[in-house]
Structure formats: C-alpha cells, structure tokens
Structure 1
Amino acid sequence: MTGVKRVRRVRWAAGSAVALALLVAGVATVASAREGGSGADRAAAAPRTPAVESADAGFARDMAVHHQQAVEMSFIVRDRTKDEEVRRLAYDIANTQANQRGMLLGWLDLWELPKVAAGQEPMGWMAAGHAGHSMKGMDGMKGMGTGYRAHDGSLMPGMATRTELNRLRSASGRAAEVLYLRLMTAHHKGGVDMARGCAGLCTVPAEKRLARGMVEAQQSELDAMAQMLAARGAGPRS
C-alpha cells in the first residue's frame, strides 16, 4: 500500500469519527433543549460556551488561519507540476483542511465569538493554558505561543513566508514538488504541535476529537512526504 493510500485511509477514519461525534453532540444538544423541567435544570444541562480567550476558541481561530495557507500552497503546486502523486496529495490536503477549516469557523459562529480576537497573539492560548496544566507528553509545544515572532507573512510556527510562497509560484516540475513537500512538512509539524495543544487543553469534546484526528492524519502525511522527498533525492528543509 502506498503512502498516499495509507494517508487516505487514516484521514477517512478520522473524518468519519469526527462527523459521528458532531452528529451525536448535535442530537444531544437538541434533545437537552427540548427536555422539560425547570429553567435551572435546562441551564445546568446546556453546553458551556467557550470564552473568547479559551484554548477552544484560540485553537479554532489559529488553526483556521494555519489551514488556509495549506490549502493555498496545495492549489499552487497543482498548477506547477504534472506529477500525479504530488497532485493527489495536494488535492487531499486542500480538501481535508478546507473542510476542517469550515468546521472550526462554524464553531466560532455557533459560540458567537470573533474569528479575529483583538489584542491576542497567535498561539497565546497555548501559553496561557500551560500555566495551569502539566507539560507531560507535550514536549513539542514548549516555546509555542510564548515568543514566536511573526515575519514576512508567517504568523505561526511552520507557516511559510510570503517569499517562500512566491518561490513556489515561480517554480515548476521537480523543483516545485520538492519545495512544496518541504514547506508542507514544516507546516504539518507546526499544525501537529498545535493540535496536540488542543487535545490537551481544549474542553469541548468534539473539538478535542477533531484535534486528535488531525494529529493522526497529519503525522501519516508527514511519513508519506518524507518518502516522496527521499524518492526525489531531497530531504526536509534545513
């Protein structure tokens, strides 16, 4: 089984689990709202809305931005190479991350929270969350949200700069494939760390499950991209 096929199987399983979780959560919420009983009982049963500075809201905002760049890079490389393996991977990443981005933005709408929080730095929710949580099992998150300096359009760890995106737009063939795989490898590593952060700090069950699914699927894609780079005589960017 090829790396891309393994990625598709993992992504399908993770996506199905998330969709089922969201369906169950929605049914439970509607059922709770329709139940009889006093107003106090209904208030106690109502789901808690995350605060604007919470890990749940911060992850939804930041990952939506992070995903948008992955979608952009994937569409760029599809126009810059005829290699079917890379084009299939790019299509899968663009499709999956566009769908997940829609879910994250939908949650923010549901919670009536802003998609851009004034005065809050990207990844700040991770630093704030660490103050009251153990770092055990979260080694890859050390330093996240505590000093990353945005530059040249790169707002969070792993994000490509405007200069790198312009290089991708001007490259073609093998050069475009290698650059895309290198940029997406770094991008996924940043995304995996962020998703692990939500898995440990977020409180909304469906969002935590989505984050865990992201970790599994993107780690599988990282393995596949490493093989694809090796096949082209290249490795991750230094």
Structure 2
Amino acid sequence: MTALTSSGSTRRMVLAGAAVLLLALGLVALMVVRPSAASPSGASAAARSAPAEDSVDAGFARDMAIHHQQAVEMSFIVRDRTDDEDVRRLAYDIINTQANQRGMMLGWLELWGLPKSAAGPPMEWMGHALTPTYDGSLMPGMATDAELAALSAAKGEKAEVLFLRLMTVHHRAGADMAQAAAGAAKTDAIRDLAAGMVLGQESEIGLMAGMLKDRGAKP
C-alpha cells in the first residue's frame, strides 16, 4: 500500500514537473516570436532613434515637466484652501492632466536614455523665442516662493483669486513654450503633446478669466 502511494506521488511529481517545463518552453518561444517592446532590444531601438540631449524635444520635456510640477503643486494648495466647487474642479483637472503629461515626458526621457535634468540653465532650447525679460533662472510663468507662500496662507475667495491669477500667468507662459515645441520638435510624440497643451491651456485661460470676473477681480 505504501509502495503504491509512493509510486503515485512520484508520477504526479513527474507530470507536474513536465507541465512546468512545457510552460516555460512555451513562454520562451513566445518571447522569441513576439519580443517585448520593453525588452533590451526594444529599448536599444528607441535609444538609437532618440533626439539629442540638447534637442528641442529633450529640452521641452525637461522644462515642461518642472513647469507642470508647480502647476500641480498650486492646484493641491488651493484645493485645500477653498470650498468653491468650480475652483476645486479646475484644480482637480489641472492636477490630473498635468501630472499625467509630466509622467509621459519623464517616461520619454527615460526611453531615450537622456537625463531628466539639464546640465545648463533651463529654456536654452527655445533660443530666440525667449521673452526679453527672461534672466536665465526662474522659467517664465513660474510663481516665486513668496507667491506660493501667500497662496498657502490665503483662504476662501482670496485664495481663489490669487490662484486664478497665478495660474493664468503660468498657463500663458506654458502655452508659449508648448507653441514653440509644437513647431520645432522633431518627434511626433512631443509635437502632438505640445499642440494639445496649447489648446488645453488657452481654453483654461479663458475659463479662469471668466471666474476672475465673477469674483470682481482682474487677471
């Protein structure tokens, strides 16, 4: 009885081992026939077709990722400083849209094998398109530390108006950056994303102008 049981267990172990082996061989064959886009060969192909480190594509991706990060930060701040549903909805939309776009841009830099931060000052990729007031430090449209502190300290309608004003300036500069990238970038990914940003941010600028007017405030 014991011998029969032992024999049955052995057969089951052998069959199980064979099934595992066949499954493994099948997976290997599938990988050979259909290599993953995330495989080393796929990554190498993407790197070979990647834009240069000093290209418009890479520069825009780096700078706009930083620009978007602050927009998300300001939106989180005002979300907790007001109960107004319209402002909170706008903040929520900015958080979701720009956080997603930021992730895409950082992902492309990773795929291209390029650093996510520039060795030199920001905005060099825009060249002659830079605004005359740009001094090479804080990117156009970016709120200062003092402005962020004021937004964090404000409440209610005061926080709403300050947020709408800061975000209007932020969006205008962002739309200018995106317009430049849409016309000069070499990759479809950056051109298409930048063109979409222009439309989206200009639409929100119009929305915020109306919201400021409703509150008796000027942009």
* TM-score of the pair, normalised by structure 2: 0.77
For 2:159 and 2:170, how far apart are their aligned partners in 1? 16
Question: 2:47·2:112 contact (CA, 8 Å) conserved in 1?
Answer: no
Superposed, 1:98-113 pairs within 5 Å as: 98-113=99-114
Cα deviation, residue 206, structure 1: 1.5
Which residue is 1:209 aligned to? Answer: 192
| One-letter code aligned to 1:148 | Y
For 1:150 and 1:186, how far apart are their aligned partners in 2? 18
The answer as to 2:150 corresponding to 1:149 is: no
For 1:184 and 1:46, how far apart are their aligned partners in 2? 35
The answer as to 2:169 corresponding to 1:168 is: no
Which residue is 1:182 aligned to? Answer: 165
Cα deviation, residue 150, structure 1: 5.5
| Residues 234 and 66 (structure 1), Cα distance of their counterparts in 2 relative to 1, 3 Å cut | same
Cα deviation, residue 207, structure 1: 1.2
* TM-score of the pair, normalised by structure 1: 0.71
Cα deviation, residue 175, structure 1: 0.3
| One-letter code aligned to 1:205 | D
Equivalent position SS for 2:54: coil
1:123-165 per-position Cα deviation (integer Å, ceiling 9, x unaligned): 10010xx5xxxxxxxxxx4x34x762256xxx20000000000
Equivalent position SS for 1:52: coil
Which residue is 1:10 aligned to? Answer: none
Equivalent position SS for 1:160: coil
* Aligned partner (choices 204, 216, 219) of residue 221 of structure 1: 204
Which residue is 2:123 aligned to? Answer: 123
Superposed, 1:3-42 pairs within 5 Å as: none
1:164-183 per-position Cα deviation (integer Å, ceiling 9, x unaligned): 00000000000000000000
Which residue is 2:63 aligned to? Answer: 62
For 2:64 and 2:48, how far apart are their aligned partners in 1? 23
Equivalent position SS for 2:122: coil
Which residue is 2:20 aligned to? Answer: none
Equivalent position SS for 1:224: helix
| Residues 83 and 111 (structure 1), Cα distance of their counterparts in 2 relative to 1, 3 Å cut | same
Which residue is 1:196 aligned to? Answer: 179
| One-letter code aligned to 2:124 | G
For 2:58 and 2:192, how far apart are their aligned partners in 1? 15
| One-letter code aligned to 2:93 | D
Give me the identity figure in percent: 63
| One-letter code aligned to 1:196 | Q
Runs of 4+ in 1 over 6 A off after TM superposition: none
Cα deviation, residue 47, structure 1: 6.4
For 1:164 and 1:183, how far apart are their aligned partners in 2? 8
Cα deviation, residue 204, structure 1: 0.4
Cα deviation, residue 62, structure 1: 0.1
Count of matched residue pairs = 179
For 1:95 and 1:162, how far apart are their aligned partners in 2? 23
| One-letter code aligned to 1:125 | W
Question: 2:52·2:58 contact (CA, 8 Å) conserved in 1?
Answer: yes
Kindly indicate whether structure 1 or structure 2 has the higher relative contact order, using CA contacts under 8 Å at least 6 residues apart: 1
Cα deviation, residue 117, structure 1: 1.7
Structure 2, unpaired ranges of 5+: 1-35
Q: Which has the larger Rg?
A: 2
| One-letter code aligned to 1:174 | E
| Residues 46 and 78 (structure 1), Cα distance of their counterparts in 2 relative to 1, 3 Å cut | closer
Cα deviation, residue 46, structure 1: 8.9
Question: 2:121·2:136 contact (CA, 8 Å) conserved in 1?
Answer: no
